[in-house]
A and B are shown apart, each in its own frame.
Chain A
Amino acid sequence: MLLKRLSEASGVSSNESEVRDIIKDNIEDKVDELWTDVMGNLIAVKGKKKKGKKVLLSAHMDEVGLMITGIESNGLLNFRPVGNIDKRSLVSKPVIVGNDKINGVIGSKAIHLQKSSERNNPIPWSNLYIDIGTSSKKEAKKYIELGDFVSFKTKFKQLGINHAKGKAFDDRVGCSVIIDLLKYEYDFPLYVVFSVQEEVGLRGAGRAAFDIEPSMALIIESTSASDVPESEDYEFSSSLDKGPALTIMDKSLISNKKIIQGIINTSKQNDIPYQIKKSNTGGTDAGEISLTKEGIPSAVISLPSRYIHSPVSLISLKDYDYLKKLIKLYLQDLNKGEF
């Protein structure tokens, strides 16, 4: 399954090559042109010569991760976050370091050795380290360079009947959906951007939009599902198994009403469930794209995912299939000149 490969690939922000290569291999024969820009965004167009307005689909390739920022004299490695990571979830997780994929574990002082005051607080960055088994700075330097990227070593696996666990669903899910959508024909030029550096400040996709100048943009994302214990139901941002989530507003964007209404119409006509994302937190590439040049009507549709920005997250494969189907049908409705 392609989603499995994408999920297990390493692609911490600005180091997306492995993901980019997988995507390239899978779309090359389905598009008219394929190129990368100076940021590293992978851009492709299908139906370039078709009449009609340019439509842009975008998903980001990068994932949150860590970066090696120091090497201790005893061979342990200091690190800091790349993107917004739930620090509490890091200790005792296996990781892979650098492009040579060296195994490591995130360690900290054992609970037996901690003072009771320490036990109640998340462990600070300076007290966390990665152990790759080296015993001196000199030895560690044989394998590691400062700035090496670190990603979680988490396997993709189906859980229960319809769910799957893995890492980096945010936003490999979006990448995987777009790859799938490129199988079909549309009546307009379809531009797709697999963007870089979303997790460090929405830095990639806007640059691609600047060149493409699309008439509208739909960003396919993964958003946090909070249908879990210890949250009130009115606090749920989105829930698993209730269909793709539409964003009305987040910190970076107020979705274009026409696009959102179009998607809702498509879902109603085809009996596909959808939900409205309830919180207004977070931001996506759509924020940057929508404010490009004279403004580009943009909207976000997401797959709900529990425990995003941690070493392992959980999605519903049913939602995933609905997401693919809904966007495909919406694009086909666009064929009829909806936008």
Chain B
Amino acid sequence: MKKLIKEITSVFGPSGDEEKIRKYIKKQINNYVDNVYEDNLGNLIAVKKGKSNGKKIMFAAHMDQIALMITHIDEDGFLRFTNVGGVGHNFLPGTPIVFADGTIGTIGVEKLENINDLEMSKLYIDIGANNQQEAEKIVGIGDTAIYAPNFSENNNRVISNYHDDRIGCVVLIEAIKNIQDNNNELYFVFSTQEEVGLRGAKTAAYQIEPDIGIAVDVTATGDTPESHIMDVSLGEGAAIKIKDNSTITHPLVKDLLIKECKNNSINYQFEVLEFGGTDAGAIHLTKGGIPSGTISIPTRYVHTPTEMVDLSDVKASIELVTALSKSIF
């Protein structure tokens, strides 16, 4: 699993630019599913057929990443940029980044009178070009770049640039490989454009029309020094989301997740998140309403280049997804 995490967090796939990651995931799951296809918004959808007594479950993990987009190339060959999704500018200075074609760059900052003056417009990307012409041969306005791959581990704790939400993709990929003899009809959606507004999951849910929707995504924790107050910790199990800014988990789904955790001795914790959202937000408002919830993988330093997860939580999440494949509700 570590190999998969290392690989998948290094594959290029900013919101709206998901070709490479889509191909990568397709290769991983092709042999384990009954059908796999791509829709109009670029979602990758894999199907495992169920039995006649089963229900239709849609799982969604987003494969897109937050990123930077080039907006201007100056005469000295420096690149100005804007954010794709929720990029915090205070984490950027000195961060190595990489473009789709492998071009690398680093982020510099203009001279500041005061560190509080730091904002996105004071930052630029340096790809080592000598001038505008040289830079334009390599990149163009509208091109996107991601944090350079960065994988490391200490025992069970794994740091990478993009656990959000490639770790959710890992959970689904591993579950797809595990699941046998499911009675529910399972739709695994590797969704696009989550980071810019839960977009891919919206159109996928419209087409799939599941009985319930489960997003698999990262969540923040409250177990670091002077962090905001929150009862989620690394290593304490899969988090069952109660609410965030996009959804209040449907009681039916919440109870179902608790039941499966209890029946299968899966470690779990409850999550009350005071910000953010997941694909469940889009899924539950589809058509006449789809009861939805989220399985969250506790993650420290979300949306920074060094996100940290605990592998035991990832395993618990895989077990929970696997359990749902046979769940009767």
Contact = CB atoms under 8 A, between A and B. Distances in A.
**Main DSSP-derived SS at the A contact region:** loop
Nearest to B72: A234
Contacts of B121: 232, 234-235
Nearest to B40: A295
Interface string B246-278: 000000000000000000000000000000000
A163 interface: no
A294 B74 CA distance: 40
Interface stretch (B53-61, B201-209, B219-227): B201-209
Interface in A226-254: 232-236, 248-249, 252, 254
Nearest to A292: B203
Given A254-B196, A276-B141, A249 B80 contact: no
Given A233-B72, A235-B121, A278-B71, A248 B142 contact: yes
Given A249-B84, A278-B71, A278-B72, A295 B141 contact: no
A108 interface: no
Contacts of A236: 72
B203 A291 contact: yes
Contacts of A248: 69, 141-142
Contact residue range for chain B? Answer: 20 to 34
A242 B80 CA distance: 20
A140 interface: no
B93 interface: no
Contacts of A233: 72, 74
B41 A295 contact: yes
A296 B82 CA distance: 26
Given A233-B72, A249-B16, A278 B141 contact: yes
Contacts of B84: 249, 280
B136 to A, nearest CB: 12
Interface string B193-217: 1001101001100110000000000
Nearest to A275: B141
A265 B98 CA distance: 27
A297 interface: yes
Contacts of B142: 248-249, 276
Contacts, number: 59
Contacts of A252: 197
Interface in A93-127: none
Given A276-B142, A279-B82, A280-B83, A293 B206 contact: yes
B39 A294 contact: yes
Nearest to B121: A235
Interface string A169-181: 0000000000000
A291 B202 contact: yes
A254 B193 contact: yes
B83 A294 contact: no
Nearest to B71: A278
Contacts of B74: 233-234
B15 interface: yes
A254 B203 contact: no
B199 A291 contact: yes
A254 B15 contact: yes
Given A235-B121, A278-B71, A297 B40 contact: yes
Contacts of B140: 276
Interface in B106-141: 121, 140-141
A301 to B, nearest CB: 14
Contacts of B72: 233-234, 236, 278
Nearest to B205: A294
A59 to B, nearest CB: 22
A236 B121 CA distance: 12
Contacts of B82: 278-280
B219 to A, nearest CB: 24
B80 A234 contact: yes
B135 to A, nearest CB: 13
A252 B197 CA distance: 8
A297 B16 CA distance: 12
Interface in A167-199: none
A234 B83 CA distance: 14
Contacts of A291: 41, 199, 202-203
Contacts of A280: 69, 71, 82-84
A87 B188 CA distance: 48
Contact of B207 (A254, A257, A294): A294
Nearest to B84: A249
A249 B39 CA distance: 20
A6 to B, nearest CB: 31
A284 to B, nearest CB: 14
B182 to A, nearest CB: 25
B203 A295 contact: yes
Contacts of B207: 293-294
A232 B15 CA distance: 27
Interface in B1-40: 15-16, 39-40
Q: Which residue, of A232, A233, A236, A276, has the highest number of chain B Cβ atoms within 10 A?
A: A276
B204 to A, nearest CB: 8
Interface string B57-92: 000000000000101101000001011100000000
A335 B235 CA distance: 58
A295 B71 contact: no
B193 A293 contact: no
A70 B140 CA distance: 51
27 contacts: A232-B121, A233-B74, A234-B72, A234-B74, A234-B80, A236-B72, A248-B69, A248-B141, A248-B142, A249-B16, A249-B142, A252-B197, A254-B196, A257-B16, A276-B140, A276-B141, A276-B142, A278-B82, A279-B71, A280-B69, A280-B84, A291-B203, A293-B206, A294-B203, A295-B41, A295-B203, A295-B206
Q: Which 3 A-B pairs have the closest CB atoms?
A: A254-B16, A295-B203, A295-B40
Given A249-B16, A276-B141, 13 more contacts: A232-B121, A234-B121, A235-B121, A236-B72, A248-B69, A248-B141, A278-B72, A279-B71, A280-B82, A291-B199, A293-B206, A294-B40, A295-B203
